[in-house]
Amino acid sequence: MNREIYPVARAGLPYLIFLGVLTALLYQFNKPASFVPGSLFLFTAYFFRNPRRRVPRGEGLVISPADGVVMAVERTEEENFMGGNCTRVSIFLSILNVHINRAPVSGKVNYIHYRPGKFLPAFKSHASEINEKNFIGIESDKFKLMVTQVTGFIARRIVCYIKTGDYLDQGQRFGLIKFGSCTELYLPPEINVEVEPGDKVKGGETIIGRLHH
């Protein structure tokens, strides 16, 4: 099981090594020319930043799987894992957001399905239906939900560290999407959703909903 502890996500290290070496070499021979790769190095380190988060504690809480802005909260049908009626919460991540994905609940990963697709801008309403997408079904001791990682126009690489059968702690990092994207939550009817379109959320901290009794 992958538990990221670095200040920069490991998925970003190959980019940083390449840009760091290129910047150093150019600096030796042509200092002005090193500005571009040096700037890209700093931006890449910023994009792949991997901050710690304070996970809220409480029974039946569902927390945000990503940083960003809530684009939509809507009723939908999902048969493959959710088994029918559910609520979909769509979160748009700009290129400036933290792109680490975190587990919204503690539970066992019982479903993973990768779907190839297109690369429309993630904020487009129909991008979820046709873009490249990774589905992750998690079952807690009280309910099940699904998280999806959706690529965008710039984001063309989904990273998922987990596999079916793994256990996730709430707030645990399980993957990321490179360079701008969308993350979705499919919630069962027994979850009261506490966010609405336009709300800003933080992965691992913001409460998206809670189990009603």
130's CB contacts (< 8 A; 6+ apart) are 117, 118, 120
Q: Does the annotation mark 39 as catalytic? A: no
- In the set 34, 64, 128, 181, the catalytic residue is 181
Structure tokens at 158: 């989904």
DSSP code string of the chain: -----SSB-GGGHHHHHHHHHHHHHHHHH-GGGGHHHHHHHHHHHHHTB---------TTEEE-SSSEEEEEEEEEEE-SSS-EEEEEEEEEE-TTS--EEE-SS-EEEEEEEEE--B---TTSTTHHHHB-EEEEEEE-SS-EEEEEEEE-SS---EEE---TT-EE-TT-EEEEESSSEEEEEEE-TTEEE---TT-EE-TTTSEEEEE--
Which residue's entry shows tokens 């029974």?
A: 59
Active site residues: 181
